[in-house]
Structure 1
C-alpha cells in the first residue's frame, strides 16, 4: 500500500523522499506509518516500474527528486477506483478521493456505507446472543471486559457509518465547507 500512498502524494507534484516522509507523517501518518527504511525501497520499485522519474540534484546534498509519470498516475487511479477496502486502506483511499470522478466516489462511499451497516447488524446479533448467555450466568460481571470489546466494536461501526453518511451528504467538517 505504501506505493499507492507515495503515488497519491506525488499527484501534488515533485518531491524528495524527505518531503514525502514529512507529508505522510503530517497527514495519513496518523493512521498509516512509513519509515525511511520502507519509503526509499518503495520509491526505487516505483522507478523500476516506470511509475516515477528520478532527478538527482547537483547541489551539495545530491538529493533525489521524484515525479509522477503517466503510468504511475494511471496505476494510482486504478487502485483508487477499486471496490471495497477496509481498515486503514479505506482511510487511505478516502484521503485521496478528491482525485476520483464523483460517480465512482459515490459508488465507493455507498459500498463503505453498506459494509458498515452490515457490520452493525452482525455485531448487534452477537450482542443479543451474548446478553442472553450472560443472563443465565451467576456472575455475569466476571465477563465485563470481554463484553466491553464488543461494545467498542459496535460503537466504532456506528461511528464509521455516521462518518461515511456525513461524507456522502458533504456536511461541513469544521474546516472545509461543502460545495453547494
Structure 2
C-alpha cells in the first residue's frame, strides 16, 4: 500500500524522501502511517519496477529526488480504480476481547485510546482551519472536493469514535433493547 501512497503523492510533483514522509504525515497520516524505515525501501522497489526515477541533487545534503514515471502513474490509476475494501482496525479487534482483560488495565487502555483520539481530533480541527483559509484563496476549490471530503470524514469518524469510547467507559451501550441502533 505504501508504494501506491507514494505514487499518488508524486503525481503532484517530484519529492525527496523527507518531503514524502512529511506530506504523508500531514495528509493521509490520520489513517495511514509510514516510517522512514519503510519509505526508503519502498522508493527503491518503485525505482526497480520502473515506476519512479530517483535522481541525485547537487545540493550539500545529497538528497535524492523521486519523480513519477508514466508506468508508475498507470499502475497507480489501475490500483485506484480497484473496488474499495472495508478496513478493520486493530483497536476494534482488541476491544472485542476486552471482557478478558482485568478492569484496571482495560480502563487505562480505554483512557489512553480516548486521549489519543481527542488529540487526533484537535489536530484535524486545526488542519480544517488551515484548509478553509486556503480554499478561499484557490481559484477552483471544487478541484479539491475529495480531499476536503476526506477531512470531513476524518472529523466525523473521530467524533463518532470518541463518543463510542465514552459510551464504553461509562457502560452506556449495554442496554440490550437498543442493540439494533
The TM-score normalised by the length of structure 1 is 0.50
The TM-score normalised by the length of structure 2 is 0.49
Greater C-alpha radius of gyration: 1
